[in-house]
Structure 1
Amino acid sequence: MSLHTRPALPINCYSQRTAAKDGACFICSRFTPNLFMTVRGTPSDWFYVCPEHTSISTFCTSTASGDSAVVQAKQSSPKDMDLANDTAADAAKLNTSKAEPEPTETDAKDGKGVQVPPVQPAASAQFVLHKDYFYLRQRPFIKRWEQEQDKSFAHNFPSVPRGHPK
């Protein structure tokens, strides 16, 4: 591991989903089927949250549009904004590379030109957590990274002498 690496942290953009099983709410520990799940990015993060907490202004803010990059950019540090811009550029490259060529007349004669657009899933509500709660979500990732760093540094130190001095 390198000395200058940073931990991989989840992106602060969560969608509200319904789970098959109930789980304890992250805030009040009541059982609820609603959960928040990161929209994109690696690593993924999810947690259960009561629907009442989504309306509290000190917990999260709803993003009205599907493009949460604007809201995220306002609440992020400059380093995080660079990371968000890089991921947005990578996504744009993927979208342009997936573009299919226009059907030709020979394809239309063969029946290949008729394509049905893919069905998109219903849009779920998206939320941005406020900084204090988002820090609580990031903290386990940071601690895990610190433990990995400690293990890698421990191998660089000399071992402790085991015998008695003579």
Structure 2
Amino acid sequence: MTVSVNAPVLMPMWMIVVAVAGLILVAAWLLRSLLVTRRDQSREVGDIPMAPSERGQWVERVETAARRFTAGETDLRGLHLELASAVRGFAAARSGEDITTVTVREILDMSATTGPDDVEDRLRLVRRHRRPLDANPLGHVGELLAVWEQPSFDRDPEAAAEEAVSEAREVVTRW
């Protein structure tokens, strides 16, 4: 009795083409999802060095706002607006980002944080404590601006003004 061995049946070519095409599609999908969900590094905030004379101009703006409040030329809200303008200008000069027209949430979003990552959680904490909590300089500025938005009608405007001026001084002298 003779046994005949049949030739092996090969896989059709179309199956190989479909498998390779599927692998290419999966690789493209993975690459796209990694590139799209990657953190946007284009908005990374720098830390530009500042000459003492330039820093002195920002300190002088803070002192001018404090003198105007002490002389009665402006109220607490006006003081907060002047200090916010000075601190925003200073932070823009130090960070290289134009933050003079962005919202507090946008400032907090672009700054690296030492606190909660969620901007709303940060704002809730800051408003509850009524002082900035972030150690990151730009985050500190954003939180400080959020604090200054709230107390337009403070019970003790002199104490609130003194605290606001000292916080603004700290920002322009330490960062």
Using the size of structure 1 for normalisation, the TM-score is 0.21
Higher helix share goes to which structure? 2
Higher strand share goes to which structure? 1
With a CA cutoff of 8 Å and minimum separation of 6, indicate the structure with the bigger relative contact order: 1
Q: Which has the larger radius of gyration?
A: 2
